């Protein structure tokens, strides 16, 4: 699906606070970068932090002075298209937000919104994202698209995309484990017959760690929180762990049987090691573990954040936080049909194979 203009191959820059890491914005930006390359763009990445092609100091989250204007202009000078990943969506660096808006005025750009200011209490007084006639706004859910529309900004929803397997493995109703998953469980000191509830998120107040622990306890499971605390959440997490009603594992274990380099554990190995994926959050812009649970053939225990209902409406059969008894019964006698139906929904609406086509439909004229 080429996106050529005459004999020239256009160049796209992906711009954000940080890229190349494991946070949701960075992961989805990498998928967009690949899709743009499928569309025949040359691409490069620009950010203040992370593993990127061009680092511009002052672009990072919380930078005091913002980037140097000349340095940022130089970094974007060879781009025919700039995809702004959340940098002009959340005011995590207001100076960079304003400078990017000035530099991109009148230039083709896509503002890819993963979050919006009023969706976070601490940013509720900030204005909507900047707008320009040459820009296209893309949201990752309909809730955000409608909220932008109510503020006079037209946007298109392009949901996050995932690699979707063709079918659920037949043995064990889809809950069988890979050797790497078994190695992870061994590294965690958890027997094959024991249950693991995996929460593959960072530790933040809105991730509702308490809710995940409570559900794990009701399932007779070990609770495994994969990410580390951020935004000063460490002391609260320490207290929750001290008072936990179930065994708790924090972080990534050391293992020589994972599928990563030198036997390191990968996120895929973590999913293969667990019995249940938990996403008990009170707010997510999308919540990638919701779909990753499906693509890894694991049941999902999900919190009541608004976008969860929007995603579930596509036809997913997930387990609500107040539906632990039904999940307990399902785990006792796993039904591969549920997993297969969820996979079919993911394949129809959230497949990474369809992302180039969906992106092509929203790109501005160059």
Q: What is the pLDDT along the chain (366 residues), one digit of tens a residue?
A: 344 444 489 999 999 999 999 888 999 999 999 999 999 999 999 999 999 999 999 999 989 889 999 999 999 999 999 999 999 999 999 999 999 999 999 999 999 999 999 999 899 999 999 999 999 999 999 999 999 999 999 999 999 999 999 877 654 455 678 888 899 999 999 998 999 999 999 999 999 999 999 999 999 999 999 999 988 999 999 999 999 999 999 998 888 788 888 888 899 999 999 999 999 999 999 999 999 999 999 999 999 999 999 999 999 999 999 999 999 999 999 988 999 999 999 999 999 999 999 999 999 998
What is the rounded distance in angstroms from the CA atom of residue 12 to the CA atom of residue 136?
A: 14
Tell me, what's the pLDDT at 69? 97
What is the rounded distance in angstroms from the CA atom of residue 86 to the CA atom of residue 252?
A: 27
Tell me, what's the pLDDT at 7? 47
Rg (CA), the chain: 21
Domains in the chain with CATH codes = 11-161+352-360 (3.40.50.2000), 171-349 (3.40.50.2000)
How far, in Å, are 163, 172, 225 from residue 237 at the CA level? 32, 35, 10
Q: Report pTM.
A: 0.92
Tell me, what's the pLDDT at 190? 93
Rounded to the nearest 5°, which phi and psi values hold at 223? -95, 125
Query: Is residue 16 helix, strand or coil?
Result: strand
Tell me, what's the pLDDT at 169? 65
* The dihedral formed by the CA atoms of 262, 264, 266 and 270, expressed in degrees to the nearest 10: 140
Contact between 224 and 197 under an 8 Å Cβ cutoff? The reply is yes
Other beta carbons less than 10 A from residue 167's beta carbon: 13
Query: Is residue 310 helix, strand or coil?
Result: helix
Tell me, what's the pLDDT at 178? 82
What is the rounded distance in angstroms from the CA atom of residue 24 to the CA atom of residue 7?
A: 35
Tell me, what DSSP letter sits at residue 229?
A: B
Tokens of 85: 């990943």
Q: Around 313, how many Cα atoms within 13 Å sit in the side-chain half-sphere?
A: 7
How far, in Å, are 20, 70, 160, 164, 218 from residue 355 at the CA level? 19, 34, 9, 12, 39
Tokens of 66: 């913002």
Tell me, what DSSP letter sits at residue 205?
A: G
């Amino acid at each position: 699906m080429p996106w050529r203009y005459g004999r020239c191959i256009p160049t796209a820059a992906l711009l954000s606070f940080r890229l190349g890491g494991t946070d949701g914005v960075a992961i989805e930006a990498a998928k967009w970068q690949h899709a743009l390359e499928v569309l025949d763009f040359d691409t490069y990445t620009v950010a203040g932090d992370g593993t990127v092609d061009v680092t511009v100091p002052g672009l990072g989250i919380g930078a005091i002075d913002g980037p140097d204007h000349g340095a940022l202009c130089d970094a974007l000078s060879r781009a025919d298209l700039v995809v702004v990943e959340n940098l002009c969506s959340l005011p995590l660096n207001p100076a960079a937000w304003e400078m990017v808006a000035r530099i991109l005025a009148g230039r083709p750009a896509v503002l890819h919104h993963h979050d919006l200011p009023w969706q976070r209490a601490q940013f509720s007084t900030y204005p909507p994202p900047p707008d320009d006639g040459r820009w296209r706004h893309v949201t990752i859910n309909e809730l955000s698209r409608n909220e932008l529309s109510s503020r006079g900004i037209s946007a298109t929803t392009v949901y996050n995309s995932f690699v979707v397997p063709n079918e659920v493995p037949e043995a064990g109703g889809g809950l069988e484990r890979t050797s790497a998953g078994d190695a992870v469980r061994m590294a965690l000191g958890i027997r094959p017959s024991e249950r693991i509830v995996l929460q593959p998120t960072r530790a933040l107040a809105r991730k509702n760690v308490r809710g995940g622990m409570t559900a794990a306890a009701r399932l007779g499971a070990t609770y495994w929180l994969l990410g580390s605390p951020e935004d000063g959440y460490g002391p609260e997490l320490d207290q929750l762990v001290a008072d936990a009603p179930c065994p708790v594992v924090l972080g990534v274990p050391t293992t020589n049987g994972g599928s990563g380099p030198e036997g390191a554990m990968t996120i895929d190995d973590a999913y293969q090691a667990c019995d249940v994926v938990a996403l008990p959050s009170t707010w997510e812009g999308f919540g990638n573990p919701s779909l990753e649970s499906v693509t890894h053939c694991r049941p999902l225990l999900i919190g009541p954040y608004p976008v969860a209902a929007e995603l579930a409406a596509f036809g997913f059969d997930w387990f609500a936080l107040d539906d632990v008894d039904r999940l307990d019964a399902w785990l006792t006698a796993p039904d591969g049909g549920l997993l297969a139906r969820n996979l079919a929904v993911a394949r129809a609406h959230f497949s990474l194979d369809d992302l180039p086509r969906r992106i092509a439909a929203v790109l501005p004229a160059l």
